[in-house]
Structure 1
Amino acid sequence: MAARILITTDYLQPEDAVDQLLREHGLEPVYSPHRGPRPTEERGSLFEGISGAILASEPVTADMLKAAATLKVIARSGVGYDSIDVQAAAAQGIRVCNAPGTNHHSVAELTIGLIIMAARRLLQVTTAVRNGHWPREAGHELRGSTLGIIGYGPSGRATANLGAALGMTALVSTAHPDPDNPAVRFTDLDTVIRDADYLSLHTRGGRSAGKLIDAPRLQAMKPTAILINTARGSLVDEEALAKALNNGTIAGAALEVLENEPMPGDSPLRGLDNVLITSHLAGQTAEARTRAGLAAAHAVIDVLENREPAHPVDR
């Protein structure tokens, strides 16, 4: 009997390139798209009879893995893996992989798009026009402004280069600077937060660390600054951000990711006119989806065929 491969990434479908690749290797794809929190009973039985899994960003807990007697590999069709209990998986001999380098251009392009929308107040303008008005807002040019970037992985690097191409000064905080890039100036975290006109997050979230952007750091930003988060919802204290947006501590925010998704009805950010919120789609271009899905499929195949996967996060 063919090994069964669970696929929860909602854009992967029967007869696509990933489906065909898995079947060519004698595997049987099983589809259970993730479109929000699953009922407790469904979560508990998600991995029963499953040998490998290609997952969206849904949580995978130690309790869920206890029922995963046949599971050998989990592959994220994306970069982040905060939602997976990697230690619990490793304790059961389950490999965990991700797909870096597949969507960073998509993330960087959306980041710059959000910055342009905020700088020119395009959401407010288009909403007003749709409602019968004709506003003539004075926005801001990006050229000459400071783009602060926290984290210099693939998406941070790509964003810095795009910003520099637009005439922005790219100021970066990272543990891994690249002195050979003349378009970027590397400095400490506090300086980036203090000097940025547009502060963009491109770093990983942590399970044990506090919020990267909390009330004191929001207070340290320019009152004219815009916060952009295309990285992890766990990086930002949303209560503190809502207060900062309401009282003018900072001018605005553009959030691609939230602490809880979909956005809760009682979110303190709901209804604010100086925040842009998108639905966790920065890496969801057609091109990036194809790359990420195939990378995850290759990871599953490698593990099941006793080869070391290209991008393990468990070792």
Structure 2
Amino acid sequence: MAARILITTDYLHPGDSVDKLLHEHGLEPVYSPSRGPRTLEERRSLFEGISGAIIASEPVTSDMLAEADALQVIARSGVGYDSIDVKAASAHGIRVCNAPGTNHHSVAELTIGMIITAARRLLEVTSAVRAGHWPRDAGRELHGATLGIIGYGPSGRATANLGVALGMTVLVSTAHPDPSNTAIQFAELDTVIRDADYLSLHTRAGQGTGPLIDRHRLSTMKPTAFLINTARGSLVDEEALSKALSDGTIAGAVLDVIKSEPLPSDSPLRGLDNLLITSHLAGQTIQARARAGLAAAHAVIDVLENRQPAHPVDRQSRTPNTDEEGS
């Protein structure tokens, strides 16, 4: 009997390149698209009879893995893997992999698009025109503005390069600076947060240290500054951000990731005119999806065929890098 490969990534389908690759290696894809929270029974049975899994960003918890007797590998069709209990997976001998370097151009392009949207007030303008008005309020140029970037992994570097191309002053906070790149400036975290006109997050979540952007750090930002998060929802204290947006501590924010997705009906982030939330789309381009799906499929195949996967994230094979990103 062919080993069964669970696929929860909703853009992967029977007959596509991933499906064909898995079949070529004698594997049987099983589709269960992630479209929101599953029931307790669905979660417990998700990995039943499954040897490998290509997973979207939904939670994979220790109680789910305890029922996964046949499971050998979980591969994220993306970069972030905070939703997976990697420690529990390692305890059960399950390899965990991700797909870095597959969507950084997509993330960087959306980040800059978000910044332009905020700077030129495009949402307010288009909404007003739709309502029959013709607003002529002035926006802001990006040329000469300061782009602050936290994290210098692939998407952080790509975003920094786009910022430089637009004539922005680019400040980067990272544990892994690149002195050879003289077009950008590397600085301490608090300096980047304080000086940025647009503060963009491209780093992994801290390990038990709480949100990176909390009430205190929001208070040190410019009142004209915008926060952009395409990395991980847990990086931002949403209660503190809601208050900062309401009382004018900062000018606005654009979030592609939030702590709980989809956005809960009782979220403090609802109803704020100076906040734009998108539905975890930063890495979702046709090109990035194709690369990420195939990278995840190759990881599953490598593990099941007793080869070392290209991008393991489990503790038996790597040291965490604080510049790893989400999406």
**Same-fold call, TM cutoff 0.5:** yes
TM-score by length of 1: 0.99
Match of 1:312 in 2: 312
Alpha-carbon RMSD across the aligned residues, in angstroms, is 0.5
1:72-127, CA deviations, whole angstroms, 9 ceiling, x for partnerless residues? Answer: 00000000000000010001110000000000000000000000000000001001
Q: Is 1:104 matched with 2:104?
A: yes
Counterpart residue type for residue 169 of structure 1: T
Alpha-carbon shift at residue 159 of structure 1 (Å): 0.2
Match of 1:8 in 2: 8
Question: Could you tell me how far apart the structure 2 residues matched to 1:302 and 1:19 are?
Answer: 16
Q: Is 1:186 matched with 2:167?
A: no
Q: Given that residues 62 and 89 in structure 1 are in contact (C-alpha distance below 8 angstroms), is that contact kept between their aligned partners in structure 2?
A: yes
Counterpart residue type for residue 174 of structure 1: T
Q: How does 1:94-243 map to 2 (within 5 A)?
A: 94-243=94-243
Question: Could you tell me how far apart the structure 1 residues matched to 2:248 and 2:296 are?
Answer: 43
Counterpart residue type for residue 13 of structure 1: H
Counterpart residue type for residue 147 of structure 1: L
Counterpart residue type for residue 6 of structure 1: L
3-state SS in 1 of match to 2:141: coil
Counterpart residue type for residue 11 of structure 1: Y
Counterpart residue type for residue 106 of structure 1: S
Question: Could you tell me how far apart the structure 2 residues matched to 1:206 and 1:34 are?
Answer: 26
Greater than 6 Å deviation, 4+ residue runs: none
Match of 1:261 in 2: 261
Match of 1:23 in 2: 23
Question: Could you tell me how far apart the structure 1 residues matched to 2:132 and 2:267 are?
Answer: 29
Question: Could you tell me how far apart the structure 2 residues matched to 1:260 and 1:204 are?
Answer: 16
1:173-219, CA deviations, whole angstroms, 9 ceiling, x for partnerless residues? Answer: 00000111111100100100000000000000134121100000000
Question: Could you tell me how far apart the structure 2 residues matched to 1:38 and 1:137 are?
Answer: 45
Question: Could you tell me how far apart the structure 2 residues matched to 1:279 and 1:183 are?
Answer: 32
3-state SS in 2 of match to 1:175: coil
Q: Between 181-190 and 100-109, report the one with greater CA deviation.
A: 181-190
Question: Could you tell me how far apart the structure 1 residues matched to 2:181 and 2:13 are?
Answer: 40
Match of 1:92 in 2: 92
Question: Could you tell me how far apart the structure 2 residues matched to 1:163 and 1:264 are?
Answer: 33
3-state SS in 2 of match to 1:118: helix
Counterpart residue type for residue 61 of structure 2: T
Alpha-carbon shift at residue 137 of structure 1 (Å): 1.4
Q: Is 1:279 matched with 2:244?
A: no
Question: Could you tell me how far apart the structure 1 residues matched to 2:183 and 2:5 are?
Answer: 44
TM-score by length of 2: 0.96
3-state SS in 2 of match to 1:14: coil
1:211-231, CA deviations, whole angstroms, 9 ceiling, x for partnerless residues? Answer: 100000000000000000000
Q: Given that residues 50 and 68 in structure 1 are in contact (C-alpha distance below 8 angstroms), is that contact kept between their aligned partners in structure 2?
A: yes
1:241-300, CA deviations, whole angstroms, 9 ceiling, x for partnerless residues? Answer: 010001010000000000010001111111111011100010000000000000000000
Match of 2:47 in 1: 47
Q: Given that residues 119 and 140 in structure 2 are in contact (C-alpha distance below 8 angstroms), is that contact kept between their aligned partners in structure 1?
A: yes
Counterpart residue type for residue 48 of structure 1: E
3-state SS in 2 of match to 1:254: strand
Question: Could you tell me how far apart the structure 1 residues matched to 2:61 and 2:206 are?
Answer: 16
Q: Between 154-163 and 203-212, report the one with greater CA deviation.
A: 203-212
1:137-177, CA deviations, whole angstroms, 9 ceiling, x for partnerless residues? Answer: 10000000000000000000000000000000110000000
Q: Unpaired runs of 5+ in structure 1?
A: none
Q: Given that residues 238 and 269 in structure 1 are in contact (C-alpha distance below 8 angstroms), is that contact kept between their aligned partners in structure 2?
A: yes
3-state SS in 1 of match to 2:71: coil
Q: Given that residues 173 and 186 in structure 1 are in contact (C-alpha distance below 8 angstroms), is that contact kept between their aligned partners in structure 2?
A: yes
Question: Could you tell me how far apart the structure 2 residues matched to 1:186 and 1:45 are?
Answer: 48
Q: Given that residues 82 and 207 in structure 1 are in contact (C-alpha distance below 8 angstroms), is that contact kept between their aligned partners in structure 2?
A: no
Counterpart residue type for residue 8 of structure 1: T
1:7-26, CA deviations, whole angstroms, 9 ceiling, x for partnerless residues? Answer: 00000000000000000000
Counterpart residue type for residue 204 of structure 1: R
Question: Could you tell me how far apart the structure 1 residues matched to 2:154 and 2:254 are?
Answer: 20
Q: Given that residues 206 and 212 in structure 2 are in contact (C-alpha distance below 8 angstroms), is that contact kept between their aligned partners in structure 1?
A: no
Question: Could you tell me how far apart the structure 1 residues matched to 2:237 and 2:93 are?
Answer: 35
Match of 2:57 in 1: 57
Q: Unpaired runs of 5+ in structure 2?
A: 318-327
Question: Could you tell me how far apart the structure 2 residues matched to 1:95 and 1:71 are?
Answer: 9
